[in-house]
Each structure stands twice: as structure tokens, then as C-alpha cells.
Amino acid sequence: MSFSKSIPRLFVLGIGVGVGTDTPARASDEVPPMPSAGTSVPPDIGPQAQEWRTTLSAGMAYFSATSPRSRLDSQDNFGLAFESRSSVDVGGNWRAGVGFGMGLTEFHRTRDLWDEAGSTARWTTQAYRDVYGWAKARGDDDTVAPLRWMGSAFAFGFLAFGYVLAGGMYVAGPIYSTTFVDMDVTASHHFGPEGRGPYLAGGLALIGFSHPLSPQLRGGVGPVFSAGMDLGKVTIGSKVIFSPPSWHGESGIEGSALTAASLTVGITR
């Protein structure tokens, strides 16, 4: 048999062997299809963290300490309120939160402190004039003038503290009007979808305050109630803290019931 005649037979034999020995591919040998270029696979980030929301608010404050046994001058003390509140979703449109607030109603204290600051600045300015006049040379034969100049340099440096003190009093003036500060822990229920819409809240508050008739600081405790409207980025809220007699320090205001309230508008983030 010639080589040229055997080639077709070998070709047919090879086809037969290939067909006869073909075995089905196992499932484990299959290569999974590659995802298309436009397909994105979200990463597994586990359970979602609870959402915290913080609101910074400002508005109107009210403070009173009333007693049937004595006439007090703070039954209609209105002023400014500043508040901060952080809350977390606990399920079922309920949120747990903690808040801080302050009410500024005794503005005469700011005026009095600014008057003192002005007096301090004027006294310091006059002292500078006096030292300058003392340090000036008194004729050409004033041999001790250099000594007075050295002394005036120390005096000028010392007197600068008068301006620093006056500036600090001006800056602290608004805070000097603070009548009460408070901290509360509350639970709130929101009646709108996703924890928004109108809400009611209640809890317990600690309050530190000073009264016009007895301005030393004292503390108290009492229930706190609040209501408002959560509009997403904007929140309108009201808050009332009530501390019955004997629930707070009563030096100078014995038997009085304490009320601190606010009406604010805030930005939520």
C-alpha cells in the first residue's frame, strides 16, 4: 500500500476515534459566563447602621418660677432659645434622642456687663494718658527721663490687660443673659412615613437655672414634653419642662413651680 493511498484511511480512522472517545463535560468543568461590562455587582456590606439625625435650632424661650406664697418677677420672662438634638430610629416610627438647650431671658445682665466693660476700657485709656504724661521729658536737663521711659514701657504692657479684660466682657455679654440650661432624654413617635411628619415626645430633663430674685445657680429635674413637625431638613418644635416644688433648688424661690419652654425652628442633618 502506497503512502498516498493510506492518508484517506488514517483521516477516517482519526475521525472515528475522536467521535467514539468523546465524553460529556462535567458540570464542575464548565466555565461560568463573564459578566457584561455594564453589569455592576453590589458589595456585601452587611446589616445597615441605624440612622442618627441631629438638629440645630433657634427660636423663642420662656421661663417662669411661680408660687402662690410669693410674688415673683419672672412670670413673663421671654428671650432667645438655642437647642441641639440627636436621635436614632428604634423602629415603628419611634425614635430615642438626647437634647441640650439654653434660654437667654435676663438681657439686663448683658447690659450691666457691657457697662462694666465700657468703664474698664475707659479707665485703661485714661491710665495710658496718665502714664504717657508722666513719662514725657520735662525740659532739656531732665536727666531721669530715660528711667521714666523704661518704667512707662512696663506700665503700658501691664495696662494692656485692661483692654483684654474689657474685650472678654463684651464677648461674654450675650452668654451672661443665660437663665437656664437643660439636658433631656426622650422617646418620640412620628406619625408620618419614614419617621417624618408631626411628632410627640416625652421624657426626663435636668435643668440648671438662676432666678432674678436669687441669681445664684441651682439645679432641678422634671418631666419634659415636646411636639412639632419634622419636614425633613427643617424641623419646627416646641418643648416644655416642668419642675414641681421640691424637685429643684429653692433658695430664694421656696414653694415655686418651675417652667422652661421653647418654640424653635431648626435644620436637620
Which pTM value belongs to this model?
Answer: 0.70
Lowest mean pLDDT among 69-73, 161-165, 197-201: 69-73
pLDDT at 25 over 70: no
Selected residue with higher pLDDT from 16 and 58: 58
User: What backbone torsions phi and psi does residue 159 show, to the nearest 5 degrees?
Assistant: -65, -20
Q: 186: Cβ–Cβ under 8 A, 6 or more apart, which residues?
A: 96, 97, 98, 99, 201, 202, 203, 224, 226
Backbone angles phi, psi at 41, to 5 degrees: -105, 115
Q: What burial class does residue 226 get, using C-beta atoms within 10 Å of its C-beta: 0-12 exposed, 13-18 middle, 19+ buried?
A: buried
Least reliable range by pLDDT among 51-55, 134-138, 184-188, 255-259? 134-138
pLDDT of 230 > 60? The answer is yes
Q: Which residue type, as a one-letter code, is found at position 216?
A: Q
